[in-house]
Structure 1
Amino acid sequence: MSSSTSEVTVIDGLSFVSDDGCWAIDPNARTLAELLQDAASTFPDVEAFVAGEERLTFGEWWRRAGAVARQLADLGVKRGSVVAISLPPSLEFAVAYAAIARAGGVITGMNPRLGSRELDHITALAEPAVIISGPDLVDRLPEPYKPAVLLVDDLAQEGDRAPLDVVDVDETDPAIIVWTSGTTGLPKGAWFDNAGLRGSAYGSSDFIRRWDRRLLPLAFVHGGFMTKVWECVASGTTTVITPVPWRANEMLDLLERERITVATGAPTQWERLVALPDVAERDLSAFRLAITATAPASPELIKKMQSVLGVRVAVRFGSSESGPGTGTREEDEPEVMASTLGRPLPGAEVSIVDDEGNVVGPDVIGAIRLRHPGCMRGYWRDPEETAKALDTDGWLRTGDLGYIREDGNLVLSGRASDLYIRGGYNVYPREIELALLESDIVADVAVVGVPAKQVGEKGVAFIVPTDPAAAPSLDDIRANLRGRIADYKVPEAIRIVDELPLTAFMKVDRKRIKELALETFPDL
């Protein structure tokens, strides 16, 4: 493979180069493993990851991945085997990711915060050969299907085992699976092949520079990491990991101390960071670009980020399924950054269609569709849901509503579904409702999301109790759901009602329920 090299300058012990170029090596690798190997041989001493005082270079990353890949092979992992990682963001997660690619496996992440319903569903659908996790997950794995477990403390170190040779796979072989909630509320696995990851990297080329230092305050099981490794490796980017749980002051410390050039975050995180009293006192001279993603950001937040941080702000729109879709550019006017989702990214197409699937003109609201080489190839082992999301021409239905302005910028009008976004995570009311209906204290229930200042939206449950004389409290509901669904999905307010409002068609009137929620909880 052809490679390009550039001198790496060390500033205060950090590998850092300000460079107008994009790629440090040829990004047109056939597979993820080939790309990782090329990076390790071309710039082995450049930092790939930083976690606190720990640092992992590209060379160390690849060599340690070889030892762990040998462990996986000894556990039966071969070409096409699914291997799940259930770890917080860490160097160990990164090593496991590269090791699975080296062993020819399919990489998937399982959020350590998953409840038993979600864990059972994902495990049954993915059938991982091995799960790499902490000890707390072992007893929670469902029966009768239990994969082999490789504990994080037992991951091999460099030199512990003979490194496994790269297992040859095709560029069209599945490479990763990213789990996202579906309309049923149960997770669906958006899968990507190697060619798709490569396409996703090209789609982000407007945002990255060679030798960037990137701060990523997102869970590594999120698509914001899983699908972005290719672009980071090809550009020689150093990924700086934020501690868990995330705190705004720690993110600010890292921006300054690690000489961060580009940072990605959810609107919630940026809202809290720019509210810190000492932002103006920090040396953020290396910082050039703040990217907001995962949920809609308000125009007020974008303007505040531009003013307080003194950097360009890029707004990105896409999904776990689509990869990069649209985005504002560094050179865009402030109004475009504050009011739109930008224009299609390199290689991407966007269209707006009406209810009949006809493409509509500028400024007409309709359903948003995306098409991009980096889109998912489908939902893992779910052809029915795949057919609903992807048409035969490769267009992905995002489930969002919006319109394209005359200047080509996309504007989001709202979500077509009932989901709400809490702290960057999609929450589907149906899943919560089904979980509550399994209890003996709830006869009927509807959950809606209402705006919340810090986390974007919060859930409110309207509950018809089984016994009106013994209506459950919010604490009762929380106790009922604890451990069964992820903690961020648990409603944060309830209202007890005699019955749910219905439409003329005898369907639950969610519009009216949301109105009632806003009236009852205006400052949730």
Structure 2
Amino acid sequence: MHSKPWLAAYPTGVPEFIAPLSAAALPEYFDQIIGKHAQRPAFTSFGVTLTYAGLDVQSRHLCQYLLALRLPRQARVAIMLPNILQYPISLLAVLRAGLTVVNTNPLYTARELKHQLNDSGAEVIIILDNFAHVLAAVLPETSVKHVIITRLGDCFPFGKAWLTRIVLQWLKRQIPDYAIPGAIFFQQALSAGRHEAYSPPALQCEDIAFLQYTGGTTGVSKGAMLTHRNMLSNISQTLCWITHGNLPGKALIPGREVIITALPLYHIFALTANFMVFFGLGAENILIANPRDMPQFIRELQRRRFTCITGVNTLFDGLMNAAGFAALDFSALKIALAGGMPTRESTARRWRQLTGHSIIEAYGLTEASPAVAINRLDCTEFSGSIGLPLPSTDCEIRDDAGEVLPPGACGELYLRGPQVMQGYWKQPVESVKELSADGWLKTGDIASMDEQGRLFIKDRIKDMILVSGFNVYPGEVEAVLSQHPDIAECAAIGVADEKTGEAVKAFIVKRNPALDAAAVTAYCRQYLTAYKVPKLIEFRAELPKSAMGKVLRRALRNS
């Protein structure tokens, strides 16, 4: 077998290797694109648009404020924001200041937030006021020294900002009370930076741009160290692919594309695909802050002739089940890109029937910035494949002994390329386990490769549960459950779920016979983000265990 059989299946124009990077670091990349598309709309949120030039100016001001704090080089800055205009401003500012971004889920509980802030050593956090009360509860126990609080309307025109504030704080009561002495508001930070001369530091391609948190087999989250080179390489790899081989009339045109961004930008999928890659095309990102509000989501789609959309299987299902979706105008649509979780055949077929376009499935993981493989854009039939390895990416299927397997055989997927992380933050032992000295990353996924080089994911080696594309680790759920005084023993597994792909199921041995499922659910909601809360709860007299006393999750899955 040819060592890279996928090359023969590449679309015309896609190279084996990406060209040398034209930028040394992400800020230089941003500057190149802003120079080409200054007056183009870059991001739109709640009907308010920020041009590339406007993004440039505001991020420079925030950058100067951050530089005035005299933080150490590559100090960590947590960004705890949903998909609003303040996110791209903050991201560019942090990177331009030579600091490291720590993307933080706005829905984290106090316990989860405290862990990530302390593990990363974040010294600054930029947070929406809706979530500031969670930060206030743990702030004294973290490494954070500077807090920047933004309001939803901070980037809106004055009248709209004022009305938004009244509605959220006084009518809907959506902003809980909080007290964070010494915090500064977002607009104050911009104003302070406006009076400073813009003087960003020189950056190196191997500087850490992101500590992007993923989970571990024990449930302890880990920060994948992604450098400027990692991210720029993955941008280049993806752009090489999506700008070649589409169907006639569907070629992407710089400065003309409109992409729907409903996946959260703090997640590595949307961060790279929607933000970084489509930024390189001078596209307009339509930010959807709350995709669960499906009627509002549909209204946004009705207003725009969008050309691209990314999503996970559950998002595509949700859209197709929403009133008004089938009546939308899909004539401008060029790419519907799926990742984060397996795409079901029924979803893919229904999407094509309703929109006239195929869902293009891709595969990635946080440790690879994330894109690894993608299907050809001109494919029209569902195959179940996650696609072909991207340019400059090597993939192998190996057995337990590390030997490369022949086509069709199942084993663990290994990959190597310039997008692969430098290791896990402050976890050298775990890094060596997952990343070899010659750059091969163990994915933990059981996969196969056919004669054409197409990859197929069969199962996961780890016990990770994928809920709507988000990683849930049984150990974390079990750690929370085990703290309940009425629970004697517990275990968590993933079970199939039509809506979310998988759902968390908890098995519990009661200490108090009066304990019921409602009480367990209410307890979990205090300490776990919603998608981690067990959807199913089963009480048992005992749990199956090995001779060593370890709970056998395999037996629970098979029961």
**TM-score, with normalisation over the residues of structure 2?**
0.83
Q: Which residue of 1 aligns with 2:502?
A: 457
For residue 251 of structure 1, report the CA deviation from its aligned partner.
3.7
Q: Distance in 2 between matches of 1:181 and 1:48?
A: 32
Q: Which residue of 2 aligns with 1:295?
A: 341
Whether 1:69 aligns to 2:80 is: no
Identity of aligned residues (%): 27
For residue 51 of structure 1, report the CA deviation from its aligned partner.
0.8
Matches within 5 A, 1:51-450: 51-134=45-128, 135-147=132-144, 148-153=146-151, 154-156=185-187, 157=190, 160-162=194-196, 164-205=198-239, 206-208=241-243, 209=252, 210-211=254-255, 212-228=257-273, 229-322=275-368, 323-336=370-383, 339-450=384-495
Q: Deviations over 1:231-251 (max 9, x none)?
A: 223221221111315334444
Q: Which residue of 2 aligns with 1:489?
A: 532
Q: Which residue of 2 aligns with 1:4?
A: none
Q: 2:542 aligns with which of 469, 480, 499?
A: 499
Q: Which residue of 2 aligns with 1:11?
A: none
Q: Distance in 1 between matches of 2:195 and 2:304?
A: 33
Distance of aligned partners of 1:186 and 1:117 in 2 relative to their CA distance in 1, 3 Å threshold? farther
Partner AA of 1:324 in structure 2: A
Q: Distance in 1 between matches of 2:473 and 2:77?
A: 26
Q: Which moved more, 1:127-136 or 1:262-271?
A: 127-136
Q: Secondary structure at the match of 1:334?
A: coil
Q: Distance in 1 between matches of 2:266 and 2:311?
A: 15
Partner AA of 2:539 in structure 1: I
Q: Distance in 2 between matches of 1:275 and 1:487?
A: 22
| 8 Å CA contact retained: 2:262, 2:291 | no
Q: Distance in 2 between matches of 1:341 and 1:433?
A: 31
For residue 447 of structure 1, report the CA deviation from its aligned partner.
0.8
Q: Distance in 1 between matches of 2:70 and 2:87?
A: 20
Q: Distance in 2 between matches of 1:375 and 1:214?
A: 26
Q: Which residue of 2 aligns with 1:520?
A: none
| 8 Å CA contact retained: 1:75, 1:130 | no
Q: Distance in 2 between matches of 1:53 and 1:437?
A: 46
For residue 30 of structure 1, report the CA deviation from its aligned partner.
1.0
Q: Distance in 2 between matches of 1:295 and 1:398?
A: 14
Distance of aligned partners of 1:140 and 1:21 in 2 relative to their CA distance in 1, 3 Å threshold? farther
Q: Distance in 1 between matches of 2:32 and 2:233?
A: 18
Give the RMSD, CA atoms, in angstroms.
2.2
For residue 146 of structure 1, report the CA deviation from its aligned partner.
4.1
For residue 350 of structure 1, report the CA deviation from its aligned partner.
1.3
Segments of structure 2 that go 5 or more residues without pairing to the other structure are 1-12, 152-184, 244-251
Q: Distance in 1 between matches of 2:301 and 2:323?
A: 15
Q: Deviations over 1:105-160 (max 9, x none)?
A: 11111111112332222111111121011332431334443411111142234784
Segments of structure 1 that go 5 or more residues without pairing to the other structure are 1-19, 517-524
Q: Deviations over 1:407-434 (max 9, x none)?
A: 2111111111111111221111111101
Q: Distance in 2 between matches of 1:434 and 1:69?
A: 39
Whether 1:510 aligns to 2:545 is: no
Q: Distance in 2 between matches of 1:440 and 1:430?
A: 18
Distance of aligned partners of 1:292 and 1:249 in 2 relative to their CA distance in 1, 3 Å threshold? farther
Q: Which moved more, 1:410-419 or 1:160-169?
A: 160-169
For residue 255 of structure 1, report the CA deviation from its aligned partner.
3.6
Q: Distance in 2 between matches of 1:371 and 1:330?
A: 23
Q: Distance in 1 between matches of 2:333 and 2:440?
A: 36
Q: Which moved more, 1:447-456 or 1:211-220?
A: 211-220
Partner AA of 2:242 in structure 1: F
Partner AA of 1:301 in structure 2: T
| 8 Å CA contact retained: 1:103, 1:164 | no
For residue 450 of structure 1, report the CA deviation from its aligned partner.
1.0
Q: Which moved more, 1:227-236 or 1:353-362?
A: 227-236
Runs of 4 or more off by more than 6 Å in structure 1?
A: none
| 8 Å CA contact retained: 1:464, 1:500 | yes
Partner AA of 2:536 in structure 1: A
Q: Which residue of 1 aligns with 2:161?
A: none
| 8 Å CA contact retained: 2:464, 2:474 | yes
Q: Distance in 2 between matches of 1:389 and 1:74?
A: 38
